[in-house]
Chain A
Amino acid sequence: MDTPRSQPPNGDAALLSLRQVQMRFVQPVDLAGRIANLFGAGLKTQTVHAVSEVDLDVAAGEVIGIVGESGCGKSTLGRMAAGIMRPTDGAIHYRGRNVAGLPPAQRREYELGVQMIFQDPYASLNPRMRVADIIGEAPVAHGLVARRQRTEYVAETMRQVGLDASYAQRYPHQFSGGQRQRIGIARALALKPSVIVCDEAVAALDVSIQAQVLNLFERLRADLNLTYLFISHNLAVVSHISDRVAIMYLGRIVELASAQDVFARANHPYTQALLKELPTLATGRRQYQPIRGELPSPLAPPSGCAFHPRCPHAMPRCKTERPLLRRIAPGHISACHLNDAP
């Protein structure tokens, strides 16, 4: 298949690459449904294509932003990249090797090397564990740190993320939202990862706390040479932190370009619409020109281009033929039939 890959700007040194990854969630007809079918209910197995044929190369030290509405598959993509879910199809390469066939020792290297930070700092920390255990358990269990050096290691990691090390014996509920997110970051950092998947890591925070955490991400990236996969629905946050931005719609990447290009020369009508919705500080009664409609159900995706029911430029061709990702400029790919127009 001649789909151009999204090459990182500096060539072939991809640290993590996704090749045609797919994730399908299948809900078979249950017993009650099968009985109902005997009476002619006509229930069928339901398949959700959460992620379809995504190619993505992440270079070392790069920050890739993944943007899309809820239900577009961005979190599923992040979970697959982090090894939490196995793709139903396609392959994930880490440091040039397919992770599916790795021997256990190297598999573990991948699983420790790619860590994840979750959205909700209230739900992603075990309320019955002390901070010292939340941060210190995994590195000891995986033999990265000797048990007797644990206290010291936890204290150092806490200082790294701007937490007072004397709070190590506290429980998560004794911290504010911003501090909890720092605990989540410390837990990921404790395993000395090379890639961190941040799934809406700042979405639940107040603006001023969000700024502090974003600055922390930037500092850690510079200090530890980290690579981020930064998943967010907020294009403004993503644009601030990312080198390249991928826009997802209904399980597929529809546009991928450098952060500057996405803002200056957005190609896909969906990206252009997202940019228009972006709340800005420009004052004066703003004339909102909203995108009509909502994200269609992934159970029954529209034919052709999935965006055509909401697209202001939809043509007859968009209803029948799915546009492929094509290179429209160096380092800029987009999937839209408008690019074929003479």
Chain B
Amino acid sequence: MDTVIEREPAAGADTVLEVHGLKTYFHTRAGVVKAVDGVDLRLSRGEILGLVGESGSGKSITGFSLMGLLDEPGRIVDGEVRFAGEDLRQASPERWRALRGADIAMIFQDPMMTLNPVLRVDTQMIETVLAHHPVGRAEARRRALQTLTMVGIPAPEERLRAYPHQLSGGMRQRVAIAIALLNKPRLIVADEPTTALDVTIQGQILYEMQNLCRDTGTALIWITHDLAVVAGLADRVAVMYAGRVVETGATADVIGRPLHPYTHGLIASIPTPQTRGHALAQIPGMTPSLLNLPQGCAFRNRCPRATQACTVAPEPVEHRPAHWVRCWHAGEP
């Protein structure tokens, strides 16, 4: 990838999404939960970004914030979200309805929860087309059929007449992906779409998604807790911890030469055939509660490199071209 584009401050024609200092807070009775606390993201046409983090790191809330799908008491309190130049924070509910499903689409983790169980697949797909395009039912159905074929569903004509419960988990997730793709969106946010699936089916879906993004120019944010999944899929990776992106850069840099101690820990804790017979390197402790984060760097209580300097929150620094790290002691392991 060309790193010059990466640093270009002005939004080029190819920039699909630009997020600056996004802050999503939940005002609860127990206090303010800073689920997303200053996230910067940027995506170009056809680019795949892997957003990696553990449960509670704020990766899903980041996705929901981009989709305008936050539930009370969650609110975007600060920051800028620009989609193809348009400020999404100013978007009215009507504007959001026009955008969602047409220009921005989302794929969720559990397709059984997101597909309507009492409607046939064709009904749900035709509805999605008709909501955004003034075309006839026959044309909408033709488009649905075409998209199902595109995501690799065998016998799509039959599957269109099926109800979600008649499909396997992998098939359902493909239908969900097909629905997301129906209106040729410019951005897809995929929230752990393969976590519930078998490795073989996951492989098939990663393969389809990779081709689709290449062919259609759709930008994709792939949210996952598994670095190994994005390693072969994403162009760039952003690692989140406690509501912040702690490291971001080209996939080869972040995974091949990680600089943040948390990324080191994540990579070392993945079991492989080579780790057999040895204890896995583990990150001590657990993800902190977002209600009472340690002052300064949120990772310092679990970090092997923590010093007095870490009581002050580090700012992101560009250690290598287009490789940003939020750490006072950044460096390879």
Contact = CB atoms under 8 A, between A and B. Distances in A.
Interface of A: 69-70, 176-179, 206-212, 214-215, 218-219, 233-237, 239-241, 259-260, 263, 273-274, 276-286, 288-291, 293-295
B283 A208 contact: yes
B148 to A, nearest CB: 16
A284 B276 contact: no
Contacts of B232: 279-280, 282-286, 288
Interface of B: 54-55, 154, 168-171, 198-204, 206-207, 210, 225-229, 231-233, 235, 251-252, 255-256, 265-273, 275-276, 279-283, 286-287
Nearest to B197: A70
Given A69-B198, A277-B203, A239 B271 contact: yes
Contacts of B270: 207, 211, 236, 281
A56 B307 CA distance: 53
A282 B255 CA distance: 8
Given A206-B55, A263-B273, A285-B232, A294 B170 contact: yes
Contact of A277 (B169, B170, B199): B199
Contacts of A240: 271-273, 275-276, 280
A239 B203 contact: no
Nearest to A234: B199
A294 B204 CA distance: 10
Best-surrounded residue of B199, B226, B267, B269 (most CB of chain A within 10 A): B199
A207 B207 contact: no
Contact of A206 (B54, B202, B204, B206): B54
Given A280-B232, A283-B256, A212 B55 contact: no
Given A207-B269, A211-B269, A290 B225 contact: no
B272 A236 contact: yes
Nearest to A176: B286
Contacts of A70: 169, 198
A290 B206 CA distance: 9
A268 B271 CA distance: 23
B252 A283 contact: yes
B44 to A, nearest CB: 16
A286 B165 CA distance: 32
Nearest to A283: B252
Contacts of A281: 227-228, 231, 255, 267, 270
Nearest to B269: A211
Contacts of A239: 271-273, 276
A237 B256 CA distance: 21
A69 B231 contact: no
Contacts of B200: 69, 273-274, 277, 290-291, 294
A210 B269 CA distance: 8
For A209, A214, A241, A281, the residue with the greatest tally of chain B CB atoms inside 10 Å of its CB is A281
Given A207-B270, A277-B200, A294-B170, A288 B210 contact: yes
Contacts of B256: 283
A239 B275 CA distance: 9
B266 A290 contact: no
Contacts of B201: 69, 294
Contacts of A207: 54, 225-227, 266, 269-270
25 contacts: A69-B198, A176-B286, A206-B54, A210-B269, A211-B283, A212-B282, A233-B198, A235-B199, A236-B228, A236-B270, A239-B273, A240-B275, A260-B273, A277-B199, A279-B226, A279-B231, A281-B270, A282-B231, A283-B251, A284-B251, A285-B235, A288-B206, A288-B210, A290-B203, A294-B170
Contact of A214 (B202, B204, B273, B280): B280
A53 B260 CA distance: 50
Given A177-B55, A282-B232, 20 more contacts: A69-B200, A176-B286, A179-B286, A208-B54, A208-B265, A210-B269, A236-B270, A239-B272, A240-B275, A259-B276, A273-B200, A279-B199, A279-B226, A279-B228, A281-B227, A281-B231, A284-B232, A284-B251, A285-B210, A294-B200
Contacts of A290: 200, 203-204, 207
A161 B283 CA distance: 17
Contacts of B279: 215, 218-219
A241 B280 CA distance: 10
Contacts of A274: 199-200
Nearest to B52: A207
Contacts of B281: 211
B231 to A, nearest CB: 5
Contacts of A280: 228, 231-232, 272
A132 B258 CA distance: 42
Contacts of A289: 207
Q: Which 6 A-B pairs rank lowest in CB-CB distance, beginning with the nearest?
A: A286-B232, A211-B269, A240-B271, A288-B207, A279-B228, A290-B204
B233 A214 contact: no
Given A69-B198, A211-B281, A288 B203 contact: yes
A215 B231 contact: no
Contact of B202 (A273, A277, A285): A277
B272 A286 contact: no
Contacts of A211: 268-271, 280-283
A233 to B, nearest CB: 6
A332 B200 CA distance: 24
A64 to B, nearest CB: 14
A278 B202 CA distance: 9
Contact of B273 (A209, A259, A279): A259
A69 to B, nearest CB: 4
Nearest to A281: B231
A235 to B, nearest CB: 7
Nearest to B169: A70
